[in-house]
């Protein structure tokens, strides 16, 4: 890897507004106000959009910039030995990190992320916190979830501001609150359904006012994301019991008006996810339905000061993004764009899926002159992604936003990533191909946790492609060969952990394939070999995977939530032991059949498309 140059700055060569930025970056990078190295000069310029220029001459690097974030990106380019003249039309370029799906990133690790985000050119960060912050007099809010204290948020806010980054609160004020509503009596008064607050209930608005008060005191930013997405069963629980039926549009608008009034009282300018306005306009509650219009009587009642966030991490064509942007404009709102860096239901950042969706999204936003965009990083089903691996996607998407071609003929993205993250971009892309969604509709994490006796996911993949396990094994062996030289690299993703995952996947694939074949043929020698040697090897691999998962989790996150994945791994080990016992009982005649292997769905039957979640592969029973 190319040596990173030392950048030496003097107060006379850079504007005062950059001094704090440079000192903060100097905590980790070779950027200092003394010593020897390349002389760093910088000056603010005027121009359309966000401009970041880097020019090199013997002994000197000069940066021209239009904002603190543009200057920080210029420093990242200089560290990567990149000369550039870049412009992005986005006045807001941000990320949204999900810390509500069990993984609550530690403050010190978030500071490391903030430095990398600044050097990539980002100027906004949202922490998606459903209940993961400590509210006064609400002991069950974030209980056993690693909730942030107000002092932790303030510390992050101060640090982000030193790097030219705005920290924005991102909460929920209607749905997605199952983690507090599950505590029974503590929140019965505000519960409508299992995840939705009750509209019109005075206690609901007292709770929301507390939430807003927390973020008002914690952050300097006067922007706040108040959520309100995916409330499909709004008004159909306790509200319906007490008040009778009322249309979703009416309830949603009335609630938004009340929460917006609380935001104004607190001094906040709110934004919400826009999906429910589009969902409630069609019978199937489809967000991306292009046929049904939102009634004028509804959209005219949306408060004009509320920003609508159009989230879309799924579509791979520019036209769809442009049509949805126009649909927001048709009801009088300029949308904020929420794209995605794919981390959810993944073991490792998914580069292919991110490329397929982020590239057309950014192209559409450029063409439609959208000024604000951020990239979400969700943690669905337990946040088991090795989150630091997504730094490759963070650098990649920032480069796209600043006009670096996706095919990157000059390898700017690779060079910038190596300088900022001290790791191999190419190795990250290789590790990303552990995903197998397109070819087999298979989540590799779920194949790890697929029950070895029931084989729900394995058999579903077999119905899609009878050769899937053999083909996937070839691919995973090739990946191992490429990744082994990076085994000790943990700078931006733990490569030993992904190698352990590959080892376990290969053993699991072989185990299930051999088990089915041997049982169907009543090959007792092969079955005995599975019990004696193969299954013990798989169990050993489970514990290797468990150990590296724990290491990479605790490197970046609070301990809360780790128990969920440890429980899954322990359950897998126990079920492997059970598989051994079932085989031995069959071989010694204690049982005449292994019932679990006699209940497979025939190959001619349809596949199910619901197997990206642990609850659907660990058992056919209720979890």
For the chain, the structural domain boundaries read 7-88, 92-423, 433-617
Is the CB of residue 272 less than 8 Å from the CB of residue 256?
yes
pLDDT at 610: 72
> What percentage of the chain carries pLDDT values higher than 90?
94
Q: Which run of H or of E encompasses 215?
A: helix 202-218
Q: With a cut of 70, say whether residue 1 has pLDDT above it.
A: no
Q: Which residues, in sequence order, are bridge partners of residue 426?
A: none
Classify residue 154 as left (phi > 0), alpha (psi -120 to 50) or beta: alpha
For the stretch 368-382, pLDDT in tens is 999 999 999 999 999
Over residues 486-502, the pLDDT tens digits come to 999 999 999 999 999 99
pLDDT higher than threshold 70 for residue 449: yes
Q: Which CATH number fits domain 433-617: 3.60.15.10, 1.20.120.670, 1.10.10.10, 3.30.365.10?
A: 1.20.120.670
Q: Which CATH number among 3.40.50.720, 3.30.160.230, 3.40.47.10, 3.40.190.10 corresponds to the domain 7-88?
A: 3.30.160.230
Neighbours of 296 (CB within 10 A): 9
Residue-wise pLDDT for 516-537, tens only, equals 999 999 999 999 999 999 999 9
Q: Mean of the pLDDT values across residues 404-419? A: 93
Q: Compute the 3-state secondary structure of the chain and give helix, strand, coil in percent, each to the nearest 5.
A: 50, 15, 40
- The proportion of the chain whose per-residue pLDDT surpasses 70, expressed as a percent, equals 100
Residues 328, 310 contacting (CB under 8 angstroms): yes
Q: In the predicted model, is pLDDT for residue 441 greater than 80?
A: no
Confidence of residue 605 (pLDDT cuts 50, 70, 90): confident
Strands 307-311 and 269-273, bridge-based pairing:
parallel
Three-state secondary structure along 122-148?
CCEEEEECCCCECCCCCCCCCCCCCCE
* Burial class (CB within 10 angstroms; exposed 0-12, middle 13-18, buried 19+) of 605: exposed
User: Residues 493, 428: contact at Cβ < 8 Å?
Assistant: yes
pLDDT at res. 261: 98
Q: Please, what is the average pLDDT of the chain? A: 96
pLDDT for residue 348: 98
Q: Is the pTM of this model over 0.85?
A: yes
CATH architecture for the domain at 92-423: Alpha-Beta Barrel (3.20)
């Amino acid at each position: 890897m190319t040596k990173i140059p030392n950048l030496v700055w003097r107060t006379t060569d850079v504007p005062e507004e950059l001094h704090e930025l440079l000192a903060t970056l100097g905590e980790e990078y070779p950027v200092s106000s003394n010593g020897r190295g390349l002389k760093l000069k910088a000056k603010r310029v005027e121009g359309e959009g966000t401009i970041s220029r880097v020019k090199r001459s013997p002994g000197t690097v000069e940066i021209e910039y239009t904002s603190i974030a543009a200057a920080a990106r210029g420093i990242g380019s200089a560290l990567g030995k990149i000369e550039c003249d870049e412009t992005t039309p986005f006045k807001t370029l941000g990320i949204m990190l999900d810390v509500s799906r069990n993984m609550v990133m530690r403050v010190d690790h978030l500071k490391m992320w903030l430095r990398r985000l600044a050097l990539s050119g980002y100027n906004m960060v949202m922490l998606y916190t459903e209940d993961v912050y400590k509210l006064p007099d609400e002991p069950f809010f974030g209980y056993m979830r690693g909730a942030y204290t107000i002092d932790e948020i303030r510390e992050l806010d101060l640090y982000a501001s030193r790097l030219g980054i705005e920290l924005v609160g991102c909460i929920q004020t209607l749905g997605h609150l199952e983690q507090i509503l599950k505590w029974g009596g503590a929140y019965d008064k505000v519960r409508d359904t299992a995840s939705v607050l009750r509209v019109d209930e005075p206690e609901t608005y007292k709770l929301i006012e507390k939430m807003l008060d927390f973020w008002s005191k914690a952050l300097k930013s006067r922007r706040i994301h108040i959520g309100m997405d995916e409330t499909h069963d709004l008004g159909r629980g306790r509200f319906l019991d007490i008040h009778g039926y009322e249309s979703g549009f009416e309830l949603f608008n009335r609630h938004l008006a009340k929460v917006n009034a609380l935001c104004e009282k607190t001094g906040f300018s709110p934004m919400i996810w826009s999906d429910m306005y589009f969902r409630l306009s069609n019978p199937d509650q489809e967000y991306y339905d292009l046929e049904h219009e939102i009634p004028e009587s509804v959209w005219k009642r949306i408060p004009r000061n509320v920003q609508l966030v159009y989230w879309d991490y799924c579509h791979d064509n520019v036209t769809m993004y442009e049509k949805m942007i126009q649909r927001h404009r048709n009801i009088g709102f300029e949308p904020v764009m929420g794209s995605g860096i794919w981390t959810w239901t993944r073991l490792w950042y998914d580069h292919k899926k991110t490329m397929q969706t982020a590239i057309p999204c950014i192209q559409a936003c450029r063409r439609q002159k959208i000024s604000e965009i951020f990239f979400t990083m969700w943690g669905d089903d337990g946040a088991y992604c090795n989150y630091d691996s997504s730094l490759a996607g963070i650098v990649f998407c920032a480069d796209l936003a600043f006009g670096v071609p996706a095919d990157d003929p000059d390898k700017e993205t690779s060079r910038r990533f190596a300088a900022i993250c001290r790791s191999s971009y190419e190795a990250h892309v290789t590790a990303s191909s552990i995903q197998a969604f397109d070819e087999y509709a298979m989540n590799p994490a779920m194949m790890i946790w697929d029950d070895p006796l029931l084989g729900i996911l394995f058999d579903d993949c077999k119905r899609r492609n009878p050769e899937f396990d053999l083909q996937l094994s070839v691919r995973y062996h090739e990946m191992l060969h490429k990744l082994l030289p990076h085994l000790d690299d943990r700078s931006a993703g733990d490569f030993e952990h992904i190698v352990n995952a590959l080892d376990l996947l290969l053993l699991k694939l072989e185990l299930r394939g051999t088990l089915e074949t041997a049982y169907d043929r009543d090959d007792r020698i092969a079955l005995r070999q599975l019990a004696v040697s193969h299954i013990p090897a798989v169990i050993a691999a489970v514990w290797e995977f468990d150990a590296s998962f724990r290491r990479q989790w605790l490197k970046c996150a609070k301990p809360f939530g780790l128990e969920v994945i440890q429980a899954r791994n322990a359950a897998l080990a126990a079920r492997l032991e059970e598989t051994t016992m079932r085989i031995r009982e069959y071989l010694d005649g204690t049982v005449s059949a292994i019932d679990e292997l006699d209940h497979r769905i025939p190959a001619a039957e349809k596949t199910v498309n619901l197997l990206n979640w642990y609850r659907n592969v660990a058992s056919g029973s209720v979890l």
